[in-house]
Amino acid sequence: MRVAAGQFAVTPDWPTNAQTCVSLMQQAQASQASLLVLPEALLARSDNDPDMSVNSAQGLNGGFLALLLEESRCNTLTTVLTLHVPTSEGRAANTLVALRGGEIIAQYQKLHLYDAFSIQESKRVDAGNALPELIEVEGMKIGLMTCYDLRFPEMALAQALKGAELLVLPTAWVRGPLKEHHWATLLAARALDTTCYIVAAGECGNKNIGQSRIVDPLGVTLAGAGSMPQLIFADIQRDVVQQVRDQLPILKNRRFAPPQIMR
């Protein structure tokens, strides 16, 4: 199965961002990808207005997703991204959606909000309270995560124990001291924790690092992007997951009870 991760710098104009997403979907389809992961919070973003992502929030029936769903009807891709959806006055949910065949086949409200490194996502965003259900693409079971979720190994492990063989991760990973090191280390660690593939897409621009990656179940980067807009691909095999798990059966060898997290 061919998988893809696309990154770009989100602008303050949601129709522009939607058209960029549509273009990446078209390119991924043309390259025969089955799964495309796009970054986090794609509606609108401004370096000068940290609240723009929430202030621009749209419902799942809004114009942004309408354009992407129209494109989804024309291809065979499963496309994963996140956007802010209004919850109450001045607040929103950071919501991951998976699109296929012109439909929203799954959605997940981000569990772990980024209240770290002098940023407080929870100031305007409501956290979810349920672990997402797995989705399936070409027989491969896929777990859903968003950005800061990467720092919580129990979430990735819970999904692997439910059968996930691949984890997707839309992100907007903020620049800062050692943050690129954290990114690379955590992606490899979560792949090794779970013996899963990971497809991670990062928003790029002045404040976020980009650096989308596709990582195999042994923590090896199969494809990686830099800090500029880019679409990366890798061919992955479900059999490889089983081969790794036969050689490194950490999910079977665990001595602790499964992690207790929200369901």
Q: Which residues are catalytic?
A: 40, 110, 147
What's the CA gap between 198 and 188, in Å, rounded?
9
What's the CA gap between 159 and 258, in Å, rounded?
10
**C-beta of residue 219 within 8 angstroms of C-beta of residue 193:** no
**Element of type H or E holding 85:** strand 78-88
Which tokens go with 170? Answer: 């839309």
Give me the half-sphere count of Cα atoms (radius 13 Å) on the Cβ side of residue 39. Answer: 32
Compute and round to an integer the Cα radius of gyration of the chain.
17
Which tokens go with 199? Answer: 């497809």
Contacts of 16 (CB under 8 A, 6+ apart): none
